[in-house]
Amino acid sequence: RALGIEAPILLGFGDGDLGAMVNPPGRDLDRLARGLRRILDDIEPDAVLTWGPGGGYGHPDHRLVADVVLQVAAERGAPALYSPGWTASDIVESGIDLMSYPVDERLLTMRVGFGAADVESARAALRCHQSQFTPAAMQQASDGLERAWDGRILLQPWFGAPGGTDLFTTGATP
């Protein structure tokens, strides 16, 4: 609600569940893939935004989600798949210790701008989010990302998705 978008679709996994050893191996990742296929069939998105291989800040669940989203997208030939990324200089500028997985800037060909209203919506959403981080740590991360991103978020296109400035318009130029 804080972002003014539809509610997230949750698949019932707890924090840290995806990497747990289960029998048979991969059972939970297969369950995630089935859920993602169902969601993609239901909503038929123009673009899919997921974590990159580093999981944002190395979180194992984020890394596994990225793997499964890439798997499902590769099966289906997703029309536009993107993951956010930051350059090594963005990481330094952010001052956030957790950010340690840079992406070469040549791969970050989608640049989506944001303004003050977007920042406030994002901060409001973060305040609603219960996480393993304290409110002070979330504020520090939000401040660092805003500083590093400087009014634009960089995305890496996958599987031939176009670069540009608009996730929902094909053929946009960077």
Which of 28-37, 49-58, 100-109, 120-129 reaches the highest mean pLDDT? 28-37
pLDDT, tens only, 31-68: 999 999 999 999 988 889 999 998 888 889 999 999 99
Q: What angle do CA 66, 157, 126 make, to 5 degrees?
A: 55
Average of per-residue pLDDT across 97-120: 88
Which of 12-26, 58-72, 84-98, 123-137 reaches the highest mean pLDDT? 58-72
Q: State residue 31's pLDDT score.
A: 95
**Whether the predicted pLDDT of 169 surpasses 70:** no
Q: What is the pTM of this model?
A: 0.81
Half-sphere exposure of 9 (CA within 13 A, CB side): 9
**Contact 62/101 with Cβ under 8 angstroms?**
no
